[in-house]
Structure 1
Amino acid sequence: MLKFLYLYLILGAILVLSCSTNQEEAVQDESQAYELVIIDSVMVDHIGRMMFTDISPDESKYLGYDQNTFDFIITDREGNITHQFNKSGDKPDGIGASLIARPKFINNTQFAVSSRNGVFIYNLDGELEKVIAPNYEIQLNVTFIGADHLHLVDENHVVTRLEGRARQDGGIVEDVNGPRLELVNLERNDFQGIVRMPRASRLADGKIFPLVNTMPFFTVSGNMLYLFFKNDDQFHVYDLHDLEKPEESYIIPFEKFHLITGKDPSNVDNAEFQFELRDIFYGGIQNIIALDDKLIVAYTPGLSDQEFVSATAGIDNSVEMFEAIEKVNKVAAILMRNDGLPLNLIYPDNFSTFQFRDAQGNIYINLESEQEKDYEVVYISRLERLN
């Protein structure tokens, strides 16, 4: 699995309000050390590029998605495939070109899919039960296939990311005052724009940043929403009952995380502004797992300008360039309290990414493998305290 969660570019060319902010660097709590320990695995007899995306509330089945064939795959707890179907394309019950977020169970018999055409609800036999279409024009220029951009709040509400409300002049620049996420009511069949760019974020300083760097990443846990941005070293904590402004904003205690510099808006034509390949390879959030009072984050630190030049020297092909950069821009993981205090974390050397967590606090992860396999596997891990 590519560590960028398979960046998918859909461009013609390849291209606020924080009530309180903790801006000081957090001091690492050396008294607390944890290890991500693998305790089990699930293997599926499937050839492709399947990602495991969720476990049902009763923990009897897994949901997956093949990134090559665009098939949805449902298995039992042992990994035996029970259902497999394809809903891509313009068929009557299809989602369109592709999904834009990991599909998620909303209960034991239905799952939700987010696409540029809205949120689709299917049963386990693949029958379409409902479509909630947005009441505005969706504009998606950049999508990370496999991004965790759909989260269940309760059985009647999900939060997802759909671009368009905040777009400026048809370009790839967003109005910082526009909503970043959508709260979807599955009963009333409507969308509500939520969460503006927090004032505490460096992305709200008046400079222009490409969408590939300002894309929101988030997770929901209990009554809280944790908001990150792909190339920002802060995160923001919201109460789901009051999404007008974050309760707190905190520095993320990265050891290394390269930040892109914004452009002066007086020198930028929003309608013509395009990002360059270099922009993709700054630091990047991949996904976030919430565990009680802790957050564990998968990210890539990105490359400095010199590292980028060295990694891509003599390479003209964009695919080969991605592969070369992947070798040096390794996925890392960081553990912190939900107030930003860093905690020591040991995790497997060949860690690739997080998939999801279950109700028992088990974290499903991928590990790198240099060998081609005729099966898919996800590893079940637990966060264990060492002292």
Structure 2
Amino acid sequence: MQLNLPQLAVSTILLSLFSCGEKAENTIEPKAFSLEIIDSVQVDYLGEMMLLDYDAKAEKYLLATDAYYEYLEVNEDGKILNQNKFSEDGIDAVGQALGLGYFNGDVTVFNPPKGYYIFRDSTKVAEISISYPFQVFMMYPKLGVFESGDKIYYPKPWPETLAIKMEEGEFYQELYRLPIIESQDKISGDTLGALSLPESSDLLGDQVHGFPIPVYTLDEDNLMLSMWFEPRFYVYNKVGDQFMFEKTVDVNIPDWVPYTPVALDKAEQFFEVNRKKRAGILTNILVSGDYYIAVYNKGLSEEEMTKLGPPTDGGLAIRKKNPNYAAIFDKDFNQLATNVPFPIASNYPNVVNNSGELIVSKVAGLSETEDDGIVLYKLKLKFD
């Protein structure tokens, strides 16, 4: 392990500053926000991994390969604490690693059709079983498993009874109305839907919007949910074992490239209509001090994608043209800033440590410098 003192800083300052508070009487002083690299940590590992999660209690980071099958746990200095690769055979086999993260400090993998396997020091120590037959058609970019009281919560998988008919609008209507988060009683194993989209959501209308990827963040009793392809997130408050909808927060993002919804009777045309562009996505909501940080990619228009041509570099050219940005909110959900850039070589996902620093892993192919190992950037949200 070695510690690098970076000379690079993200000095691009926000040009578009505004507030969009719900209370007109609120007067918010404009601030110029930036994300600056204040330090970097090098992990002694030959190969590329992405940062997935952070355990605040043990102050350790979880990194993994794109397929989630091999992972590292490292401390604040980049020292490797544990390295493991899941086995596809044997008693504790992981046949599909479709989500990976920390649950109570232990590495937890979503392993259909079993449920969640929990590992400590590379050894399986527990399991969260899902009692009903289910089906999964995506990898979860954020694990989303947490507990409160006598319940465990996780993203609800699609029940096997849901007939997958992508050419029929009724399938999407049923999909969008499924519970997004499910609770499971720790003793009985009984499950119950704990959170669904509000009736005011555009997704519950009479159009097809594609496949949502739910990503959510807890901040005490607040839960903030992004459905991935909308420039907005939904805020819920925990009441008992359920999460009650409070408000929808629209994120003002100039030059956002929206997907194009289609009518229910033209469901089979959705992917053809949208395949030539790269629609914008809202990929995470972070909590740092007094601020919420919505992380997004604005997307690329059909014209921009045509200019780039077919990918020949593993998608690096697209990533350079469609980098990560942040929108900044206060704790009352007033938007303070937009298009605050991350370092161009930053990977997704990203986490916040106990010091309020944003931690991102570096994509080697997006950088002009070579490093012997994995590099983690430590970023600080600053304002003038």
Normalised TM-score (structure 2): 0.78
- 1:365 is the counterpart of 2:360: yes
Aligned partner of 1:82 in structure 2 is 81
Secondary structure of 1:268's match? helix
Aligned partner of 1:205 in structure 2 is 205
| Distance in 1, Cα, partners of 2:306 & 2:75 | 47
Aligned pairs for 1:226-305 within 5 A: 226-241=224-239, 243=242, 245-268=244-267, 278=275, 281-305=278-302
Aligned partner of 2:177 in structure 1 is 177
Query: Do 1:114 and 1:120's aligned partners in 2 also have CA atoms closer than 8 Å?
Result: yes
Aligned partner of 1:18 in structure 2 is none
Aligned pairs for 1:274-353 within 5 A: 278=275, 281-312=278-309, 315=310, 322-344=315-337, 346-350=340-344, 352=346, 353=348
Query: Do 2:100 and 2:107's aligned partners in 1 also have CA atoms closer than 8 Å?
Result: no
Aligned partner of 2:40 in structure 1 is 41
Report the CA distance shift for 1:151/1:30 in structure 2 as closer, same or farther (over 3 A). farther
Q: Name the Cα RMSD after superposition.
A: 3.4
Q: Report deviation, 1:90.
A: 4.0
Secondary structure of 2:57's match? coil
| Distance in 2, Cα, partners of 1:84 & 1:155 | 32
Secondary structure of 1:247's match? strand
Aligned partner of 1:71 in structure 2 is 70
1:355 alignment partner, one of 346, 350, 356? 350
Aligned partner of 2:99 in structure 1 is 101
Q: Report deviation, 1:180.
A: 1.7
Aligned partner of 1:150 in structure 2 is 144
What letter corresponds to residue 203 of structure 2 in structure 1?
A: L
| Distance in 2, Cα, partners of 1:280 & 1:189 | 43
Q: Report deviation, 1:289.
A: 0.6
> Which string of whole-angstrom CA distances, capped at 9 and with x for unpartnered residues, describes residues 209-242 of structure 1?
211xx22221111111101111112211111226
Secondary structure of 1:92's match? coil
What letter corresponds to residue 102 of structure 2 in structure 1?
A: K
Report the CA distance shift for 1:162/1:266 in structure 2 as closer, same or farther (over 3 A). same
What letter corresponds to residue 159 of structure 2 in structure 1?
A: R
Structure 2: segments with no counterpart, 5+ residues: 1-20
Report the CA distance shift for 1:151/1:302 in structure 2 as closer, same or farther (over 3 A). same
Query: Do 1:46 and 1:376's aligned partners in 2 also have CA atoms closer than 8 Å?
Result: yes
Q: Report deviation, 1:296.
A: 0.8
Query: Do 2:183 and 2:194's aligned partners in 1 also have CA atoms closer than 8 Å?
Result: yes
Identity of aligned residues (%): 22
> Which string of whole-angstrom CA distances, capped at 9 and with x for unpartnered residues, describes residues 21-51 of structure 1?
x9999x9945333332333322210012222
Aligned partner of 1:14 in structure 2 is none
> Which string of whole-angstrom CA distances, capped at 9 and with x for unpartnered residues, describes residues 281-335 of structure 1?
20112222123552212211112233333333xx3xx665844433322222221
Aligned partner of 1:50 in structure 2 is 49
2:128 alignment partner, one of 129, 132, 146? 132
Q: Report deviation, 1:132.
A: 1.4
What letter corresponds to residue 116 of structure 2 in structure 1?
A: V
Q: Report deviation, 1:61.
A: 3.1
| Structure 1 stretch displaced more, 225-234 or 324-333 | 324-333
Aligned partner of 2:111 in structure 1 is 115
User: Which of the pair has the greater relative contact order for Cα pairs under 8 Å at 6+ separation?
Assistant: 1
Number of residues of Structure 1 aligned to a counterpart in Structure 2 = 351
Normalised TM-score (structure 1): 0.78
Secondary structure of 1:142's match? coil
Structure 1: segments with no counterpart, 5+ residues: 1-21
| Distance in 2, Cα, partners of 1:237 & 1:69 | 29
- 1:161 is the counterpart of 2:155: yes
